[in-house]
Structure 1
Amino acid sequence: MTTTDHVRAPLHERIATFPWPFPARHYRYSTNVEPALQQTRTSAGSWGGRIIDIDGDYHDELRQRAAILHADPTRHAVLPHMVPATWDAMLLVMRELAADYPDSMHLQQGDDGSWTWRNDLLGRQHTFVVGDESTLPTSPLLYIGQQVQEDLVLLDQREEHLWGDAGLVTFAADWSMNFDVGMSFLQIHGPVPRVHEEGIIPRAEQFLMRLQPGQPYRRTNWTMSVGHRLDTSTETYPEWGRDRRLLNRDDIGHRLHLRVEVQHLLRLPGSGCILFLIRSYMMSLEDLATVPEWRAGLASVLQELPQDMVDYKGLTRYRDDTVAWLHAAG
């Protein structure tokens, strides 16, 4: 499947539930963490009532994930000491799905301690015993990760720091799970401008280490991508990097997309690790511009964005043309 073959959910649905990331008409890095499960109003609708979001792109995005994993199994990485946490994460995700989508997702514990999971959307059902991988067709993180649209990262907490020691990430925005696995939280965020000088990453790490089970939090992040391509990992840079160089003014409206990540942060009750869920949403500028407040807001954010942040987000070549296009679209 090419990056142009996706079968999308209807535009009105995508606009109504799009997680607009800009509360103001300027942007700076911040922890911007808030309690999860709060419905957030936008100029076009609302988002955020669930931790795991199943929408009209569900089957398409899972097909993309399966193809990526088939081509590159290293997108799934688990250090040996994190195996118990992967079971913990799988059960938490299953519980969330069963609670929020009871018509299609079902989790039941048997009298013998085994569990039965049924996903009617995918026609899957398995009975498994926690800790016994022979009772699942794949490892726990791989099993549940192929049934949600979110990427999953597991952070271990030791030596007074967090460590990215496991994950299943097929839709990374210019980073690599396989490269980052085993790194500390501070090392993972090393390339991001301003956040170290301003102490944002150490504060974020301290906040995360105080998370309690049953108290989920979330934040948003954003960037821009050429083409509707969720997989912009460093592994595939030769494929998508050239798109930035070839973008021209006439293509901006339909080829350039605002990409927004909704990141959920949850302390796992059994292992004590932190589950980091990353759901990526994309909208072309011509679709986004149908909401006047979004068109004007994005133009203002991009125009005011400091140059080092423009460079880091890969916007240098087309920032000015994009601002001009957004103004003209009004």
Structure 2
Amino acid sequence: MTVQFNPNENMHDQFHYHNSAKAIARFPFPFPEDQYMYSVNIEPVVSRPDSIFEHWFDVDEHYVTDMNERRLTLEQDPKRCIVMPHMRQASWDFLEMVMLRYAEDYPEHFQLERDGLNWHWVNQPLNIDVHFIFGQADSLPMEPFEFISRQFQGDVALLDQRDGDLFMDTGMITGPADWSLNFDAGMSFKQWHAPVPKLAHNLGVFERALKFLLNIQVGQPYRRLNWTMTINPRMDTSSETYHLWGHERGLVTAENAGELVHLRVELQTMPRLARSNALLFSIRTYLISLNDLTRNPAWAKRLYRVIRDLPEPIAEYKGISEYREPLVQWLSQFDGVDE
């Protein structure tokens, strides 16, 4: 599948970000009903042609933009990439999975040749052409996890499975929705999900979700959608950079909400890594302005009802409370539209 990449996009300071008509049509609108309550909503990875679910890992028109944003963020904060020593094998597992999937699913843009342990990898969009020895870190320009994560569209956590739990022991997180890898690194599954409302005090939900994840098998990945909202098309809304973006929530009015407010949807994919038995947790983030989203009348009407009736603890957790009133005012114009 050939992807046409958007040139000259910028997701820092002076924002320039555009979704094509195709990107809008394939955007993963996350609300199947007029009301939203937090749920696990997990499903097997099954291919759906001509959608973001066609392949295990979606590469779209924002690929080069996202990779440039990752590079800039790492220049400012190298701690967005953390690899614990015992995760070396999992790092090579991840590199192998990405190269194989990208080369198979997007052969016009990525190529992989293998002769035993001698590998040749070509990433045309990023102008990378490297020969290396699989399993030998010094044959790559940098450590294997960082090398491939700088070419992978979406954030990545590698979860080590031990003692009946999952631990966030490796990650490349440059576009998080108000959290910090540096803070969460090494935490268990229950620890990093503790802030989620409606789940924090329901240990049964945690235990069922954890049990399910622990039993994911090689070659049988699962996925789910998660969502929040972001002011401006800003990918990096980390805890560390709150001072740069937190005040923007106060800029939303009933007049500018369509331009400033962006629906932010994460496609979270969870495959098992074969050699290390680690669980890959990929977080592929999609952004769309409300002006673009409301080109679909059914989406516009449903989003109005979801935000209007959203339970306050969830609105607070997702950072919407501060501008919820002007947002609902702006969205209300779509409540009576024909779908």
Which TM-score applies when normalising by structure 1?
0.94
Provide the rounded CA distance (Å) in 2 between the counterparts of 1:25 and 1:33: 19
1:141 and 2:145 are equivalent in the alignment: yes
CA displacement at 1:149 relative to structure 2: 1.5
Give the corresponding residue for 2:112. Answer: 107
Decide which of 5, 14, 17 is 1:4's aligned counterpart.
14
Q: Deviations over 1:75-126 (max 9, x none)?
A: 0001111111111111011111011011221112114x22211112222111
CA displacement at 1:222 relative to structure 2: 0.2
Provide the rounded CA distance (Å) in 1 between the counterparts of 2:297 and 2:15: 28
1:94 and 2:99 are equivalent in the alignment: yes
What letter corresponds to residue 190 of structure 1 in structure 2? A
What letter corresponds to residue 14 of structure 2 in structure 1? T
Decide which of 242, 245, 261 is 2:247's aligned counterpart.
242
Give the corresponding residue for 1:33. Answer: 42
Provide the rounded CA distance (Å) in 2 between the counterparts of 1:67 and 1:169: 13
Cα distance, 1:144–1:110 mapped onto 2, change above 3 Å:
same
CA displacement at 1:228 relative to structure 2: 0.7
Q: Deviations over 1:27-58 (max 9, x none)?
A: 11111110113328xxxx84311121111111
What letter corresponds to residue 262 of structure 2 in structure 1? H
Q: Deviations over 1:227-268 (max 9, x none)?
A: 110100001000010101232222211000110000000100
- Asked whether the 8 Å contact 1:142–1:168 carries over to 2, the reply is yes
1:268 and 2:278 are equivalent in the alignment: no
Provide the rounded CA distance (Å) in 2 between the counterparts of 1:105 and 1:307: 45
Give the CA RMSD over aligned residues.
1.5
Give the corresponding residue for 2:70. Answer: 65
Give the corresponding residue for 2:4. Answer: none
What letter corresponds to residue 189 of structure 2 in structure 1? F
Q: Deviations over 1:291-317 (max 9, x none)?
A: 101001111111221111111111112
What letter corresponds to residue 129 of structure 2 in structure 1? Q
Decide which of 324, 330, 338 is 1:325's aligned counterpart.
330
Q: Deviations over 1:256-291 (max 9, x none)?
A: 011000000010001000011111011111111111
- Matched residue count: 324
Which TM-score applies when normalising by structure 2?
0.92
- Asked whether the 8 Å contact 1:260–1:281 carries over to 2, the reply is yes
Provide the rounded CA distance (Å) in 2 between the counterparts of 1:97 and 1:86: 16
Aligned ranges 1:101-180 → 2 under 5 Å = 101-111=106-116, 113-180=117-184
- Asked whether the 8 Å contact 1:35–1:218 carries over to 2, the reply is yes
Tell me whether 124-133 or 167-176 shows the greater mean CA deviation.
Answer: 124-133
CA displacement at 1:9 relative to structure 2: 4.4
- Asked whether the 8 Å contact 2:161–2:214 carries over to 1, the reply is yes
Structure 1 residue ranges without an equivalent (≥5): none
Provide the rounded CA distance (Å) in 1 between the counterparts of 2:58 and 2:171: 19
Cα distance, 1:143–1:131 mapped onto 2, change above 3 Å:
same
- Asked whether the 8 Å contact 1:3–1:228 carries over to 2, the reply is no
Structure 2 residue ranges without an equivalent (≥5): 1-9
Q: Deviations over 1:122-172 (max 9, x none)?
A: 221112223321111011111111112211100001111100000001000
Decide which of 57, 64, 82 is 1:77's aligned counterpart.
82
- Asked whether the 8 Å contact 2:252–2:326 carries over to 1, the reply is no
Provide the rounded CA distance (Å) in 2 between the counterparts of 1:243 and 1:300: 24
What letter corresponds to residue 14 of structure 1 in structure 2? A
- Asked whether the 8 Å contact 1:4–1:228 carries over to 2, the reply is no
- Asked whether the 8 Å contact 1:211–1:266 carries over to 2, the reply is yes
Give the corresponding residue for 2:297. Answer: 292
The percentage of counterpart residues that share the same residue type is 42
What letter corresponds to residue 156 of structure 2 in structure 1? L
Provide the rounded CA distance (Å) in 2 between the counterparts of 1:244 and 1:167: 28
What letter corresponds to residue 37 of structure 1 in structure 2? V
CA displacement at 1:201 relative to structure 2: 2.4
Decide which of 8, 29, 34 is 1:20's aligned counterpart.
29
Provide the secondary structure at the position in 2 that maps to 1:52: coil
Aligned ranges 1:250-261 → 2 under 5 Å = 250-261=255-266
Provide the rounded CA distance (Å) in 2 between the counterparts of 1:7 and 1:237: 21
Give the corresponding residue for 2:57. Answer: 52
